Structures are given as structure tokens and as C-alpha cells.
A and B are shown apart, each in its own frame.
Chain A
Amino acid sequence: MGRQTPLFAEHQALGARMVPFGGWDMPLHYGSQLAEHLAVRASAGMFDVSHMQTVDLDGPGALPFLRRLLANDAARLKAPGKALYTCLLNPQGGVIDDLILYHLGPGRYRTVVNAATAEKDLAWMREQAVGAEVEIKPRRDLAMIAVQGPQAREKTAPLLPEPLRERALALAPFSAAEHGDWLVARTGYTGEDGFEVLCPAGEAPGLWRGLLAAGVRPCGLGARDTLRLEAGMNLYGQDMDETTSPLAAGLGWTIAWEPAERDFIGRAALEAQREAGDLPDFVGLLLLGPGVLRAHQRVLADGRGVGEVTSGGFAPSLGRSIALARVAPGTGPECAVEIRGRPVPARVVKPPFVRKGAALIPLD
């Protein structure tokens, strides 16, 4: 029996199939993962993501601490209300976790990290914070609901505390508005527009029911995974981990190399890798033959193994199977993937596969 989020009773009442995930009991789906996926692309769906760990980082030393801790540069968040995506690296340049960092106010930052890595992340942050003027506070009192899809924002806004409603609708992508313990951010993990809403745990069931009444479809971890795969977004533990460089996981864009004098953890290792070159390509694959791409299948070119699928599955929006894969540099566009011992033709493509309901790759 895993830990339960403040919405556990809601999931049970909706007949969710619950599964263990990162130490928590979470909904996999509420009947049909495919229908949930398509609802997010067509209208709006909601996800209980309260298992993810919110951590506040406060104090006069917070900014210098974060500029050393994270591969992206917290100083880019010039105004409060801005957010960025970044990797947390070890000194070898491996990915401890990926996270979103919010700038809430002077000396006030907030991050949301993955559930399965939360304890490890906190221990690492505390170890690095020794001597710094920063207080690291896990916020276990908050719940989080992601509302995603073309109708997500208009359906969510009326349910927010009154002072947040207009501000929420005015948010630019990757920005957030705060009111007391409520935080609404225009971020997500699906490739659709939408909000991620943090609120006091006790208020989460009311928000959830309000969204349900507004016609927002409850979606489980299954749809969350196929949506993020179509959107070409990495999943920690699958597409990258502590042994993977962000440069080998399609995450080079999240590294702030400038200013050159900013000495973030992992910088020296990444610079050496960049210097040495010959890093694998991190690519998208479209399966051309029958079957379904799955993690750990072998990618073949001219009959030889050139890499591995890191995330794969059926893409409901495309009606085809797609994957993210780590392959030898220059692989493609034609290749094959070994499925149950047989090579099946596939094509190297550039993710994302789907954004805002539309296919971004040619399917024929």
C-alpha cells in the first residue's frame, strides 16, 4: 500500500484503476486511457499530480544557491512569476532529476520535482546548501492538479480564488500567479495549453469536483505518459537518469552555458563531453511496420545495433507507434527496431510528434 494524495477518495469514487507509482497509489486510468488522451487533445483533461514534491527555497542566498545547483540559470527569471525547466546534475554531469523552477518573489523560489526522486533530491539540495543562506522547505501541505487541453484555462479560471481569476487568464506561457497558498502556472506535460494549479491539500477535492462538473475529464498516469511522449517530452528514469548526460537526452537546450563564469554543478563534465564530441543523438522514431515500440528495444541500421528506444508506445493522436531513442550520431532517416526478434522498419524524425492537437511529423 503506497501513500495517498488528498484526491485518493475522488479517484476511488470515479472507479480509477490504481497502481503503485514512485511510492504512491495513483490512478492509471478511469476506464479508457485512449479516451482520456484524446479528451486532452480535443477539450480538457485533469491529472492529480499531488505525488510530485513541491519544495520552497527561500532566503537571501536562494538565487546564488540555485545558480550553482541547476544547469539552467535561475537568474534568467528576472521578474517574479516566471518559470523555467532545468536539470539537476551531479558533478559527473548525470541527471539527478528534472524540474520546473518558479520565481515567486525577491529571495523566494519554488520547485516541483518528481515523486520517485523527491527524497534523493532533497538530500542532495540540503547537502549543497550547507553554509548558504537558503531555507529548503518541502511543502507536503499542498496538492497539485494539472488541467490540460484547449479548453483547460477557460474551465479552470472560474474555480480559482477570485483574486486569481483574471490574472490566471492573462498569464503568458511558463508564468505563474500566486495568491496565498494557491499558485496557478501556465505550464504542463502534454503539449497542450493549460494550467498546473497548486493549492492547500484541503481545497483540492473541491477544485477537482468543480472541474469535473465543468466537463473536464479525469485522466490517469497512462494518458499522461502517451501525451508527454507525443509532445516529445522526456520522462525521468526512462529517457535520462544519473548515468545520462543531458547532452545525450535531447536536453542541451536547458543548459545555460552563458555567462561562462557561472560554475554550476556538472559544468566541467558537460564541457569535457562537448569538447570530446561524438555524443549519441536523441531522436524520435516513427514505426513504419506493424507492432508497438517499447522502451529498451534495439535500434538497427544496416542490420547492426546502433542504439536503444528509451520511451515508446502507441500515439493515440496519430494512430501510430512512436518512440524516443538514443542512437549513434547520424543514424537515419531509415532504420529498424527489433521487436520480438524481428527487425521492423522505422524512420528517424524530429520530436515533438504532436503539439496543440496537430501532428508535426509526416505519417506516410
Chain B
Amino acid sequence: MSKVPDELKYSKDHEWVRDNGDGTVTIGISDHAQEALGDLVFVEVPEPGRQIAAGEACGVVESVKAASDVYSPLAGEVTAINEALGDAPESINDDPYGEGWIYQMRPSDPAAVAALMDAAAYRALIENE
């Protein structure tokens, strides 16, 4: 069974969102998503400063099997990216909620974070897949 940490929020596209408490959030893909993709070999992250819409494809994760878009769960401005993924895309497999984070952003609507799925809802989603 894949890990779904209680303190995070989730999207239906299998991204997770951590509220950093300073007006920014950190975003990555869930343990369930990395398991389904298999070994990751290439990650493309959005440029810092880019404004992205909710649901917009803003990055790509490619595994040995397939390429998959990363859809931003929230609208806002990209504030930081995980540059280490360029050399170590496998961090997403090894530690999807830690070293495998993909980007940080400042959501244009801070209240939108709370409206995302909680861990219980996300667990239900992946169990029904």
C-alpha cells in the first residue's frame, strides 16, 4: 500500500501539496504516482517566476515506461524548483514526499490550499482506481 501522509493535501492528478506556513507551498507527485510510473529517468520543472493556472501542465516526469505531465494543483507564481532532480530524478522514487519535491509556489488564492483533497479523500480515490 502506498504512503499517503496525513498532513498533506492532494489533487486528483496525484500531486501532493505541503503548506509551508509562509504563504508558499511545496508540490510533488504522490507515492502512488511514482509507483505507477516506475523508475524515473527525467524530470522537467517549471521556470521560477512563471505564473501558472490551476490544472495547467507545468512540468513532466518521465519514467522508463512513459512520460507524464505534472498538473499544477493551484494557481500562482513558481518561487523555487528542485534543481537536484536534474541529476537525480530517482529521488522521486526514493523519497516522493521529501527529497523528491518538484517545485514551490505562492498561491494567488491562499484559501485554495484548504479546498484541496485531504489524505482520507485521496486514499479513497486511489483505492477506487
A residues sitting closer than 8 Å to B (CB atoms) are 17, 28-29, 32-34, 222, 226, 290-292, 294, 313-314, 316, 321, 340
Contacts and interface: CB of A to CB of B under 8 A. Distances in A.
A354 B60 CA distance: 28
B39 A33 contact: yes
The 10 nearest A-B residue pairs measured at CB: A314-B41, A34-B39, A292-B62, A33-B64, A292-B42, A33-B39, A33-B38, A32-B39, A314-B64, A222-B64
B70 to A, nearest CB: 13
A33 B65 CA distance: 9
Given A222-B65, A340-B60, A290 B44 contact: yes
B125 interface: no
18 contacts: A28-B38, A28-B65, A29-B38, A32-B93, A34-B41, A34-B90, A222-B38, A222-B65, A226-B64, A290-B42, A292-B41, A292-B42, A292-B67, A294-B67, A314-B41, A314-B62, A321-B42, A340-B60
Contacts of B42: 290-292, 314, 321
A226 B64 CA distance: 8
A128 to B, nearest CB: 38
Interface in B26-84: 38-39, 41-42, 44, 60, 62, 64-67
Contacts of A294: 66-67
B38 A291 contact: no
Nearest to A19: B65
A311 B42 CA distance: 17
A41 to B, nearest CB: 15
Interface residues on B, range: 10 to 19
Contacts of A28: 38, 65
Interface in B6-38: 38
A22 B62 CA distance: 24
Nearest to B35: A17
B80 to A, nearest CB: 20
Interface in B60-119: 60, 62, 64-67, 90, 93
Nearest to B64: A33
Interface of B: 38-39, 41-42, 44, 60, 62, 64-67, 90, 93
A28 B64 CA distance: 11
Contacts of B64: 33-34, 222, 226, 313-314, 316
Contacts of A33: 38-39, 64-65
B3 to A, nearest CB: 16
A345 to B, nearest CB: 15
Contact of B62 (A226, A291, A316): A291
Nearest to B57: A340
A294 to B, nearest CB: 7
Contacts of A17: 38
B81 to A, nearest CB: 14
B5 to A, nearest CB: 22
Contacts of B67: 292, 294, 340
**A290, A292, A340: which has the most chain B beta carbons within 10 Å?**
A292
A314 B66 CA distance: 10
A33 B41 CA distance: 11
B125 to A, nearest CB: 20
A222 B62 CA distance: 14
Contacts of B65: 28, 33, 222
Nearest to A222: B64
B4 to A, nearest CB: 19
Nearest to A339: B67
Q: Which residue, A28, A33, A294, has most C-beta atoms of chain B within 10 A? A: A33
A212 to B, nearest CB: 22
A17 B90 CA distance: 19
A26 to B, nearest CB: 14
Contacts of A321: 41-42
Contacts of B66: 294
B102 to A, nearest CB: 15
A29 B36 CA distance: 11
A106 to B, nearest CB: 45
A23 to B, nearest CB: 20
A314 B42 CA distance: 9
A313 B65 CA distance: 8
A222 B37 CA distance: 12
B100 to A, nearest CB: 15
A292 B64 CA distance: 9
A113 to B, nearest CB: 25
Contacts of A29: 38
